[in-house]
Amino acid sequence: MKRIIFFLAALPLSAPAIAQVTANLPVTCTPSGICTRATAVTNPDGTNIGASSGTGTSASQVQGNAASGATDTGNPVKVGGVYNSTLSPLTDGQRGNLMQGSRGSLNVTLMQADSVNPLANVGDNSDAQSTGSTARLLTVSRNYVWNGTTWDRAPGSTAGANVVSKGGLSLATGQVSVTTSSTLVAAARTGRNKITMSVGAANTCAFGNTGVTTTTGFPLAPTVGASLTLDTAAAIYAVCSATTTISFIEQY
């Protein structure tokens, strides 16, 4: 008499409903009398996890229940990655593993929006970083400032100051004899922070651009020591009701 042994796949009663086994499939027996029944594992929604619900060629191939580009369906599946000390390049159309770092972090490449181009990396050891159309990821350990054309590293003082004040730390003084015609008091100076001008006589003086008059300029009271402070790098002219010495001090 032959013994017939059946092997049926089953899940524990306490197992979550992640799949179900269908047992009403054909029984096959070997010449030695050992028989098995094929089993089909399905998703909770009834779709077959095997190749019958996909496009694979092996009946034991595990596949998802929604194709790439199709409307998503079902529950998510936990996935894992692989760590390689040397990353292996892939060619177009190849499938690859999710690559991880040695502590489990996922390796990613930041891409420009809706583009095949990755973000360009900008270091923090050079000046004159352009504003080109290429998207850039600025990775710096120090601040950058805008010079009007490009981005430069923020300067500091070798004396220990962390920030250089606007216009610099230098001073210049002078005296100019201003007549009844427009007279240059201070030439334009790039980087000037401020300039203070003081009238040396009780005459009416006015300040402004080249060609300034006592009517069009900014007037000071006819008082000795009357002063005007401006935050400008532009050239400054003055005109007075009588020849007057105007003193100035500028920071740049």
- Judge if 230 and 176 occupy the same domain: yes
- Judge if 147 and 185 occupy the same domain: no
Instruction: Say what the pLDDT of residue 35 is.
Output: 66
Q: Which of 113-122, 146-155, 223-232 has the highest mean pLDDT?
A: 223-232
Instruction: Say what the pLDDT of residue 167 is.
Output: 52
Domain assignment present for 191: yes
Given a cut of 50, whether residue 204 has pLDDT beyond it is yes
Mean pLDDT, the chain, whole residue set: 76
Domain assignment present for 133: yes
- Judge if 187 and 148 occupy the same domain: no
- Judge if 186 and 235 occupy the same domain: yes
| pLDDT grade for 184, boundaries at 50, 70 and 90 | very high
- Judge if 147 and 182 occupy the same domain: no
Q: Residue 122 has which token pair?
A: 């900008």
- How many distinct structural domains can be found in the chain? 3
Q: Residue 168 has which token pair?
A: 């610099």
Instruction: Say what the pLDDT of residue 54 is.
Output: 45
- Judge if 128 and 195 occupy the same domain: no
pLDDT tens readout for residues 119-149: 776 655 666 666 555 566 666 666 777 777 7
Domain assignment present for 54: yes
Q: Which of 44, 46, 43, 80 has its CA nearest to residue 63?
A: 43
- Judge if 185 and 235 occupy the same domain: yes
- Please tell me whether the overall predicted TM-score, pTM, comes out greater than 0.85 for this model: no
**In the 8-state DSSP scheme, what is residue 30?**
-
- Judge if 17 and 50 occupy the same domain: yes
> For 58-84, what is the mean pLDDT?
75
Domain assignment present for 201: yes
Given a cut of 80, whether residue 52 has pLDDT beyond it is no
- Judge if 149 and 183 occupy the same domain: no
Q: Which residue has the tokens 């809706």?
A: 114
* 38 or 171, higher pLDDT: 171
Domain residues for the domain of 142 are: 120-153
